[in-house]
Chain A
Amino acid sequence: MSAQKKKAFQIEAFKHRVVVDPKYAEKTWKILEHAIHEIYNHNASGLSFEELYRNAYNMVLHKFGEKLYSGLVTTMTSHLKEISSSIEAAQGGLFLDELNRKWAEHNKAMQMIRDILMYMDRTFIPNTHKTPVHELGLNLWRDVVIHSSAIQTRLQAILLENVRRERSGEVIDRGLMRSITKMLMDLGPSVYQDDFEKHFLEVSADFYRLESQDFIESCDCGEYLKKAERRLNEEIERVSHYLDAKSEVKITNVVEKEMIENHMHRLVQMENSGLVNMIVDEKNQDLGRMYCLFRRVPNGLVLVRDVMTSYIRDTGKQLVTDPERLKDPVDFVQHLLDLKDKYDKIITSAFSNDKTFQNALNSSFEYFMNLNSRSPEFISLFVDDKLRKGLRGVTEEDVELVLDKVMMLFRYLQEKDVFEKYYKQHLAKRLLSGKTVSEDAERSLIVKLKTECGYQFTSKLEGMFTDMKTSQDTMQGFNARHGTDIADGPMLSVQVLTTGSWPTQPITTCNLPAEIRGICEKFRNYYLGTHTGRRLSWQTNMGTADLKATFGKGQKHELNVSTYQMCVLMLFNNADRLSYNEIEQATEIPASDLKRCLQSLACVKGKNVLRKEPMSKDIADTDTFLFNDKFTSKFFKVKIGTVAAQRESEPENQETRQRVEEDRKPQIEAAIVRIMKARRVLDHNNIVAEVTKQLQSRFLPNPVVIKKRIESLIEREFLERDKSDRKLYRYLA
């Protein structure tokens, strides 16, 4: 045992080098070289795979891999040069054919060669970091054949020419194209891109630029879009047939840019065929096509949406400011509904219900509807018309549809409190004259309003319905109690209205005819007997009466008149002629109402139960009135009372508006106090913003009005200004 360190177990190599025949390498190589030649010359069948493999194996084993490899390179290169020449020699259309054929052969040859040289591929090549055989074959093909100066440009040109021909409608050999592009892809992604794709895209861009220029001069918008769509689909199809899938998005971008993006504005604005015309003519298919195409380019849809929005706003604005249109409110609102339907249909069918378009439509409607301050009144009149007669005989579902559409318009209103005022007035008239088509429809609308605006909005309206019902019960009770003693006299029907729920009316009374006074008193006593602590006043300006009249030749008619008219007419039971002043004195009806009343009794054709002297149109204080013996009418029942809701005259409108403004003041103040109570200290701009936010579901408060209310609250010591910062307000508890 040596005292030294233990040595690891060693195997020593042969002491003598195995001497190999120096010519051995050369000889072996020659064999292989020959084999390669044969392979390229299609004489491979005579070769022995086993022998060749062994030879290659031995070369590598005896450290002649380098020689083998470089020999391979040289041999292949020279063969490929020959091949290259033969391809170059091919004429015209045969060029691609030849190239394709030679490529296939080369691949087969390469396979065989690699099989033979597999040992080298697996050992020598990885160790020396050289290019593996297969890859080497590809690279050499690429460098020697494809990138040879003669072939490179020619190949590119022919490929692009084929595409061009196909675009002009010619049929080309797609299979061949496919093989060639596959070859390029096999040679490496940059080969396909640099040798073909890059130029393909450039040339395509030029092509489409020219074509689109040509189209845009000669086609209208719809036709152009059809053509663009067609080209786009063609390109997609082309890619699927003989190009790399990754090219699809690149070529479609080119088409989109050249054909659509570059001409976007011109297309949309095109006279007689652009976007606006399509909308007007409801060309939903064309619009759909435009939507799909423009969706592909940046800001394409933004453009479409903007143009559509300004169109809707402009036409809407025209509609609401057109005096002709505004003469008939019901027609006006119907027109609005029809417009909304039309646009909805376009958005659904052509713009695939795109939410941004929906929003644009909504904001446009909201914009122009509020340009006309009478929109709330008109919508209420529309509803009034529907509930009076328009919805007669309509199915329940259709009624709901109409009401839902009305609600939709209602939502656009900024001044919902104005609507509420008018709606209350119109509803009151409907209820009191018993002229509503369907109580279910009325209630349904109230429910919808409640859902939209909260119960405060509708609590008074519901109160009105309750009053009607209660009055029925009251009348039942009255008739039951007094049934017998009033059987001979005029028949009375009373609606008792709770003051807060119904629209405020000035208290007017007049002298009721003697025949009526008795029963009215009876009712009053009955009611006050059963309800303590209440006060009743007859609203003589809101009632109606049915009178039985007998005329000169004995014709009997039943006249349906207002209470005022009844008072006037009953006077003629005791006199044949009366002057204006006498009538005024006897009835004590306020002058303006009396004049209107007399006008409807004496000056309207077909309803002139009174005659007037002189026969002028207007009522003068000096006129005299006579009972019209000669009155005739086709109908037994003649309706003379004017109770239907009409669009207000200008002065009435002003008055209502003033009342609305007055109503808003306390609401604004309440909002300010609420906010300040919670925040304690707040600056001016924030108060205005908060108040606006709180009230916006009812109306849009005017910042100047808010400021005045703040000052009023300062005056009444609810608020004070901060001593150091004058823009800050403080809540005073």
Chain B
Amino acid sequence: MHKLGRGHRDKVQQFMTITGASEKIALQALKASDWHLEGAFDFFYSQPHIKSYTDTTRLEELYNRYKDPYTDMILVDGITLLCNDLQVDPQDIVMLVVSWHMKASTMCEYSKEEFFIGLQALGIDSLEKFRERIPFMRSELKDEQKFHEIYNFAFGWAKEKGQKSLALDTAIGMWQLLFAEKQWPLVDHWCQFLQARHNKAISRDTWSQLLEFARTIDPALSNYDAEGAWPYLIDEFVEYLNENGIIQNGQFSDRSQK
């Protein structure tokens, strides 16, 4: 604030009073509109409305409720409590979306910074607001672009720290969760195939390419191109489907063996 000229400072004040936004947001909006108040308002209101004012003190309170007694992080117990408070199952996929907003680095723990970043981005500073946001977060999964980002985020988040690849069991769990949302018919066969034939960790490339595969190739594999530079694991999966008669003559017969 001190570096700004008088006129600018006034505008920032005005902006903050009218919109209730934080100083940072005000500066952002005014810079974007070249210090015209009208334009800044347009800019502000065209943004997703979640950039509303969050009270840092209340965030601090919230954080302390869940934080682990011995470390400055929210760990498993804290997360469980949070889920209870939100009336959401800890396994619910919406928690993944929350973690995505937080840009959390690893599952089952949130650093203070991550917690703050995430909730501020969502415009949450109380449990009620948090609960209100949940339907919105669920809706984000329906957005193609966002789902893509969340999916790819999930790989880094779900894997062990310091590992390059994702353990198979974790991967399968994640896939089942994600594709319950996305509705990919072959997800069960894919998981069975991996358990039967692969038994090794999943590489990042395979993870991200699988989404492409699920999105672009139809379940009867009619548009699958063997020369399509798919990861070899996916090629093997196709072979597996053909061998076991799941895909016959370009028809997908859903004889799912549980």
Contacts and interface: CB of A to CB of B under 8 A. Distances in A.
B203 A684 contact: no
Nearest to A721: B205
B160 interface: no
A715 B212 CA distance: 18
A733 interface: no
B227 A715 contact: no
Interface in A675-728: 683-685, 704, 707-708, 711, 714-715, 721, 726-727
Residue among B164, B165, B205, B235 having the largest count of chain A Cβ atoms under 10 Å = B205
Q: How large is the interface on B (under 10, 10 to 19, 20 to 34, 35 or more residues)?
A: 10 to 19
Nearest to A714: B205
A726 B229 contact: yes
Contact of A704 (B203, B206, B227, B235): B235
Contact of B232 (A683, A708, A715, A721): A708
A714 B203 CA distance: 9
B209 A684 contact: no
B56 to A, nearest CB: 37
Contact of B227 (A685, A714, A721): A685
Given A704-B235, A726-B209, A726-B212, A715 B229 contact: no
B76 to A, nearest CB: 30
B228 interface: yes
A707 B232 contact: yes
A692 to B, nearest CB: 14
Contacts of B164: 715
Interface string B16-48: 000000000000000000000000000000000
Given A704-B235, A715-B164, A727 B228 contact: yes
30 contacts: A683-B229, A684-B227, A684-B228, A684-B229, A685-B227, A685-B229, A704-B232, A707-B229, A707-B231, A707-B232, A707-B235, A708-B232, A711-B203, A711-B205, A711-B206, A711-B231, A711-B232, A714-B203, A714-B205, A715-B164, A715-B165, A715-B203, A715-B204, A715-B205, A721-B205, A721-B209, A726-B209, A726-B212, A726-B229, A727-B229
Contacts of B205: 711, 714-715, 721
Contacts of A683: 229
B160 to A, nearest CB: 16
A239 B219 CA distance: 75
Interface string A103-126: 000000000000000000000000
Secondary structure class of chain A's binding surface, majority of residues: helix
A349 to B, nearest CB: 47
Residue among B206, B228, B229 having the largest count of chain A Cβ atoms under 10 Å = B229
**Pairs of residues from A and B, 3 with the lowest C-beta to C-beta distance, nearest first:** A684-B229, A727-B229, A714-B205
Nearest to A683: B229
Contacts of A704: 232, 235
Interface in B182-237: 203-206, 209, 212, 227-229, 231-232, 235
A685 B204 CA distance: 22
Interface residues of A, number: 12
A652 to B, nearest CB: 28
Residue among B164, B231, B235 having the largest count of chain A Cβ atoms under 10 Å = B231
Contacts of A685: 227, 229
A271 to B, nearest CB: 42
Nearest to A708: B232
Given A684-B227, A707-B231, 8 more contacts: A685-B229, A707-B235, A711-B206, A714-B203, A715-B203, A721-B209, A726-B229, A727-B229
A683 B206 CA distance: 18
Interface string B158-197: 0000001100000000000000000000000000000000
Nearest to A704: B232
Contacts of B229: 683-685, 707, 726-727
A454 B204 CA distance: 40
A666 to B, nearest CB: 18
A683 B227 CA distance: 11
A726 B205 CA distance: 11
A715 B229 CA distance: 15
A727 B227 CA distance: 9
Nearest to B226: A703
Contacts of B203: 711, 714-715
Nearest to B165: A715
Contacts of A711: 203, 205-206, 231-232
A726 B211 CA distance: 12
Interface in A373-421: none
A542 to B, nearest CB: 38
A684 B232 CA distance: 12
A708 B229 CA distance: 11
A291 to B, nearest CB: 43
Contacts of B165: 715
Interface in A645-693: 683-685
B115 to A, nearest CB: 31
A707 B203 CA distance: 14
A711 B232 CA distance: 8
B100 to A, nearest CB: 19
A721 B152 CA distance: 14
A704 B227 CA distance: 11
A726 B229 CA distance: 8
A704 B235 CA distance: 9
Contacts of B212: 726
A721 B231 CA distance: 11
Contacts of B209: 721, 726
A726 B216 CA distance: 12
A684 B212 CA distance: 16
A678 B206 CA distance: 26
Contacts of A708: 232
Contacts of A715: 164-165, 203-205
Contacts of B231: 707, 711
A174 to B, nearest CB: 71
A711 B209 CA distance: 11
A708 B235 CA distance: 11
A714 B229 CA distance: 13
B69 to A, nearest CB: 40
